[in-house]
Amino acid sequence: MAALQKKALPNGCLSLTSLGLGTSPLGGCGVPVSFETFEAVILKAYEQGVRYFDVAPLYGLGKSEHFLGHVLRVHGLRAEVVVSTKAGRLLKPASRSKRAESLYGINWIDPLPFVDEYDYSYDGIMRSFEDSQQRLGLDHIDILFLHDVSGVWHQDKYPLYLGQLRNSGYRACDELRRSGAVKAIGLGVNETASVLEVAAEFDLDCSLVAGRYTLLNHAPLTDFFPEAQRRGIGIIAGGVYNSGILAEGSRGNALTRTYDYQAAPEAIVRRVKALEAVCERHAVVLANAASQFVYAHPAVTSVVQGALTTAHVTQNVASISAPIPQAFWMDLKTEGLIPSEAPLPEQSSLAVSG
């Protein structure tokens, strides 16, 4: 079996496999997920070479953290993997608390009996981190992302939460990192602007950014990636399928033919069809091209994808490592489907024998 390539974060403290497993779907995001299914997916990912797992208090309202920690502990995997979780939300008893407002109406199936509440203050971040330690059962957590520190997400309340960080939240992050409780601090967001805004005020090691650099979205090439590289911020890329359409293509159903969690506009569908035409000429799977295009950029340390079944894990591993001819990438550039300056994958770099 080929081992997935690893890249180090710019600060050198951690190395991540080219593919990481995100556990939002496994938290019961719209579908029921049993512990047995969760365990099988984590073990399949480990078997396939994945050594990076991302979780958050939000996922299943504590369930994903409980489940992931238990699987790692029972199977003796903790020392072999990198774990990231998130801060910025506290879980409160559902019977006595109000659920936080969310940009997307997430329907958790059979979650734990809690609701989430935003808090980016010193006390909130420390409490969130310690609660996550308890749920995961871990002595330390490798990466701590500040979850949804974003003007897109919080809109008119963004200044309030950014103010909490400025007043005391950054101090909590600094203490956690200096003490060794975490090795890296970053943001976990669906936009790029807030990463640069926070980075101008606080030293970020990395950030998990979803859906901003894809086969359909190239904007980070000219502004975000160069600045992230200059500041030494490793980018962990999520949402490489733009929420669905780059996974299932233009022929997908209403649930999968989505772009940024909405029905894909006709202009996006036309671009996907053009991508599919090149894929057909070269016998390339669109999802594979989507994953490898993102990972090819030197600013990207890892690509994180979710999975609901062991078959999904196998597909994800193939997506990041299956051979794609250079002629395919050159045709995408020739036809103007990706920018001429976009870095291209070198097949030998995607996997190493092991």
Half-sphere exposure of 20 (CA within 13 A, CB side): 30
* Rounded (10°) angle between helices 63-74 and 35-47: 50
- Catalytic option among 59, 161, 213, 241: 59
State how far the alpha carbon of 267 is from the alpha carbons of 54, 273, 354, in Å: 33, 10, 43
Whether 120 is a known active-site residue: answer no
CA distance 236 to 185: 12
Answer yes or no: are the C-beta atoms of 313 and 21 closer than 8 Å.
yes
Residues present in the chain in total: 354
Which residues make Cβ contacts (< 8 Å) with residue 37, sequence separation at least 6?
Answer: 26, 308, 309
What six digits make up the tokens of 299?
């600013």
CA distance 330 to 347: 14
CA distance 123 to 44: 37
Whether 131 is a known active-site residue: answer no
Give the SS3 label for residue 185: strand
DSSP state of 87: E
Q: Largest Cα–Cα distance of the chain, in whole Å? A: 59
Q: If residue 8 lies in a helix (H) or strand (E), which one and from where to where?
A: strand 6-8
Whether 157 is a known active-site residue: answer no
What does the DSSP assignment read for 159-176? HHHHHHIIIIIHHHHHHH
- Catalytic option among 44, 46, 52, 54: 54
Q: Beta strand 141-147 with 114-118: parallel, antiparallel or unpaired?
A: unpaired
Phi, psi of 300 (to 5 degrees): -90, 125
State how far the alpha carbon of 168 is from the alpha carbons of 124, 161, 255, 293, 337, in Å: 10, 11, 41, 38, 45
The type of residue at 103 is L
Q: Residue 292 — left, alpha, or beta (φ > 0 → left; ψ -120 to 50 → alpha)? A: alpha
Active-site positions? Answer: 54, 59, 86
